[in-house]
Structure 1
């Protein structure tokens, strides 16, 4: 082999070896497949708690000092404070709604109201269609007349024009005295309206819950009224009405009432409106529908 050929051979062989080395260096180890991304864990969320039931309370807010509306339109009064305190002890929420006396019991029967507090007298007749928590207040009827009137007892009203609030105990007792269809019985939507009629001379007397009458006379000195008590009026008691058979709510209300009487809350509320603890108050300073 000539020198030229020998040099070409060595060059060719060197190139071949270099190529083999480059090929070897360019080989890569196979990469392991990346693990598949795991799906995010699904955390089961606890169901949202059901909102606390708010009990609808019906009240005829035209019966001060038991229930009325202040200048802001808020419902206030003895009954309101008592039920609010009872609800707090019972661990329930309540919302008061102004409900006209006429038809108030229908709202309970139809389920539009869960309970009623409106100076409601507990009677055997009412017990047939509703249940009562309590009693929470001792009550009695009272006669309102003008200061110049000679009326001295209930029987004097037998042939006179008498104003009453429709469907109340006052309406019932006067109806028994004069007869249910007597044209001398003048019925009004509220006791204050009946008392306004007395002031105007449209009736000779008004028979109503004594707490309401006393409150009206005390706050309307210009009316020049006086009150007449009569032993013929039977003692009465107020209760909180609930739908017939609603034992669960009835138990809560009775327990709450017992609690506010035990810790002195009831006496504080009573003194706020009537000036004396309930136990010391004479029967003549009470009231009822």
Structure 2
């Protein structure tokens, strides 16, 4: 009987070990260990979202707020920073299939997304704006009633448009840069996105000769943004939270926020008490 009990105990322990290695806390520990072993933090980032992460004209690598935050985190971990391009529609799939270690991709923390992935603490909060052609008659959101609004496919803006313009129709396009082209081609009446992205897009379009105008009240639908990690990736998530708070405490985060969002932006990461 004793050999049988011992065998059963060994089987149970073996099954427990398999379960832990497939998910939960052990999966999180494996991700951080993988980053340190490989000597690289691989982040899924946007390559076409102005301010957050985009490739400048004539360049080959993305630049932006997300990129700088990722680089600083990697520096503090003692590893190099690498990026992989993702879009609003494929970023979660890229994370779940382990093509990237985490998502620094202008992603709003929603309850629906939280069912499939985990998030860091808020690393930014941003409100929404509309972008219209300067020669259009649109001066306020009410003027857009019944009009077509273009957004990035898979973005939260797809669901937010009806909340601010019940009669507007939504046109979703694959890439953020496609929203600007759609506006230029008069295939949509306005672009809808975060204030910083809209203002950055306005600068880009104005520089190319297409005059535009930003409309919408200040503080429209403010939303929290988080760094995405795989479900149960607790060790990595906790490490990211610690790094964010360290960056806030020593002034690094304030510098990055003001670099990309302007000198008057007062966003600050919540810093928990040390004890």
TM-score range, shorter chain: 0.7 to 0.9
1:242-261 pair list within 5 angstroms: 242-261=229-248
Question: CA distance change for structure 1 residues 275 and 232 in 2, over 3 Å: closer, same or farther?
Answer: closer
Contact 2:153 2:175 in 1 (8 A): yes
1:59-78 pair list within 5 angstroms: 59-70=45-56, 71-78=58-65
Q: Which residue of 2 aligns with 1:56?
A: 42
Q: Which residue of 2 aligns with 1:279?
A: 266
Are 2:188 and 1:188 equivalent residues in the alignment?
no
Instruction: Give ranges in structure 2 of 5+ residues lacking alignment.
Output: 1-35, 269-275
Q: Which residue of 2 aligns with 1:217?
A: 202
TM-superposed deviation, 1:91: 4.1
Contact 1:69 1:76 in 2 (8 A): yes
Contact 1:169 1:208 in 2 (8 A): no
Deviates more, 1:152-161 or 1:241-250: 152-161
Deviations 1:210-250 (A, max 9, x none): 21110111232221110112368321121100001100000
Instruction: Give ranges in structure 1 of 5+ residues lacking alignment.
Output: 1-49, 282-289
TM-superposed deviation, 1:178: 6.8
Deviations 1:178-210 (A, max 9, x none): 78xx99422112233212221221111111122
CA distance in 1, matches of 2:119, 2:158: 21
Contact 1:267 1:277 in 2 (8 A): no
Are 2:255 and 1:265 equivalent residues in the alignment?
no
Contact 2:39 2:78 in 1 (8 A): no
Contact 1:90 1:255 in 2 (8 A): no
Q: With structure 1 as the length reference, what TM-score do the two structures score?
A: 0.72
Match of 1:126 among 113, 125, 129: 113
1:1-20 pair list within 5 angstroms: none
CA distance in 1, matches of 2:251, 2:218: 31
Deviations 1:158-181 (A, max 9, x none): 4111111111122111255678xx
1:118-197 pair list within 5 angstroms: 118-175=105-162, 184-197=169-182
Q: With structure 2 as the length reference, what TM-score do the two structures score?
A: 0.75
Question: CA distance change for structure 1 residues 232 and 257 in 2, over 3 Å: closer, same or farther?
Answer: closer
CA distance in 2, matches of 1:249, 1:115: 9
CA distance in 1, matches of 2:164, 2:260: 32
Larger radius of gyration: 1
CA distance in 2, matches of 1:154, 1:133: 33
Contact 1:170 1:207 in 2 (8 A): yes
CA distance in 1, matches of 2:153, 2:128: 15
Which consecutive segments of 4 or more residues in structure 1 shift more than 6 A? none
Q: Which residue of 2 aligns with 1:34?
A: none
- Structure 1 SS opposite 2:256: helix
